[in-house]
């Protein structure tokens, strides 16, 4: 019935990374390492992560007609992602300018570029992709009105997964479509809009669930995750590994969870699998290059 296990709708960026001894002060110039250019963006990351696990995956996104766009298309295709939904043109490819100091701390400036031109009209024009997809996932590096259009374009039996990153308050119609809404601590507090919600992640999960999502997942890093639905709140254990680089781990988690839900796994089963995928991803440097295959996850 479905051609795709997962359709990802979201961003595709070129990550331009320079190592620096320290970040410059206002008006100051510092020298850095050679420039490294990597494919990135939450949408492209999640599509690649799912495809690496063996999911039949498509991406709906927009890139520029430029070298960075071609880099992203090549990366997606080499991972096995169907790029039929990747639109080209309208603005330069989105770019993240990243400086990284010796401690690993980074500073990032993002130019959304073509990501900001992915419109609700683009979503409606891609109706055949939605009706061919078992699960649809999105993030918030594209316009919010486009994500709302995604939630209203689902096939009758498909499932919508949202990772609201970067976080912002969400309209009720979007929250009601989420199954699940996947948040970390920072995202949970922004969406709840209340700095006095306390420090208990189980409370965050319950309050978020009361706002309308059909289910909620709260990721807790090395502490695992919580899943919440009408059946209650339960904890998913973490997988202990020696972390090298956490870049992209959240994207890998979201992609794995969405994929496994589409195979018929329960929310708890899907989250447990996603925790293993996220753990495998942090054992290597980088984002897309660190995403594991299904065999690597099984070995873990």
Tally of CA atoms within 13 A in the half-sphere of 52 that contains its CB: 27
Neighbours of 65 (CB within 10 A): 13
161 bridge partner residues: 137
Rg of the chain (C-alpha set): 18
pLDDT at 133: 96
pLDDT at 246: 65
Domains of the chain: 4-21+32-299 (3.40.1190.20)
The strand ranges marked E within the chain are 4-9, 13-19, 36-40, 57-63, 86-88, 94-100, 106-111, 133-138, 159-162, 178-183, 216-219, 225-229, 232-236
Which structure tokens are listed for 77?
């295709």
Chain centroid offset of residue 221 CA: 15
pLDDT tens-digit map of 79-103: 999 999 999 999 999 998 988 888 7
Element holding 273 (H helix, E strand): helix 267-281
pLDDT lower than 50: segments of the chain: none
Which structure tokens are listed for 198?
């306390």
pLDDT at 195: 55
Residues labelled as active-site residues: 251
Are 36 and 26 within 8 A, CB to CB? Answer: no
Phi/psi of residue 20, nearest 5 degrees: -135, 150
Phi/psi of residue 7, nearest 5 degrees: -110, 120
Whether the bond into 166 is cis, omega within 30 of 0: yes
The Cα–Cα gap between 49 and 277 comes to 9
The Cα–Cα gap between 23 and 178 comes to 39
Torsion of CA 51, 57, 60, 61, to 10 degrees: 10
């Amino acid at each position: 019935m479905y051609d795709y296990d997962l359709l990802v709708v979201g961003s595709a960026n070129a990550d331009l990374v320079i190592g620096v001894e320290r970040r410059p002060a206002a008006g100051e110039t510092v020298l850095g390492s050679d420039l490294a250019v990597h494919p990135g963006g939450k949408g492209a990351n999640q599509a690649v992560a799912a495809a690496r696990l063996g999911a039949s995956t498509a991406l709906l996104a927009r890139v520029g007609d430029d070298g960075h766009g071609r880099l992203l298309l090549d990366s997606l295709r080499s991972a096995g992602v169907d790029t039929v939904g990747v639109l080209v043109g309208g603005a330069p490819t989105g770019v993240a300018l990243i400086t990284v100091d010796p401690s690993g701390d980074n500073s990032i400036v993002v130019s959304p570029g073509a990501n900001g031109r992915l419109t609700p009209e683009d979503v409606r024009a891609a109706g055949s992709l939605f009706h061919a997809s078992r699960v649809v996932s999105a993030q918030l590096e594209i316009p919010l009105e486009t994500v709302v259009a995604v939630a209203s374009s689902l096939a009758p039996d498909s499932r919508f997964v949202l990772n609201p990153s970067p976080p912002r308050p969400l309209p009720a119609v979007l929250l009601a479509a989420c199954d699940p809404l996947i948040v970390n601590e920072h995202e949970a507090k922004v969406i709840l809009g209340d700095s006095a919600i306390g420090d208990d992640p189980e409370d965050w999960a319950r309050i978020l669930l009361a706002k309308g999502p059909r289910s909620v997942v709260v990721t807790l890093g090395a502490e695992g995750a919580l899943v919440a639905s009408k059946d209650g709140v339960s904890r998913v254990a973490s997988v202990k590994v020696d972390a090298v680089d956490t870049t992209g781990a959240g994207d890998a988690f979201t992609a794995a969870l969405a994929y496994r839900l589409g195979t018929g796994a329960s929310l708890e089963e899907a989250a447990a699998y996603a925790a293993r995928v996220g753990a495998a991803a942090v054992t290597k440097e980088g984002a897309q290059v660190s995403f594991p295959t299904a065999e690597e996850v099984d070995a873990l």
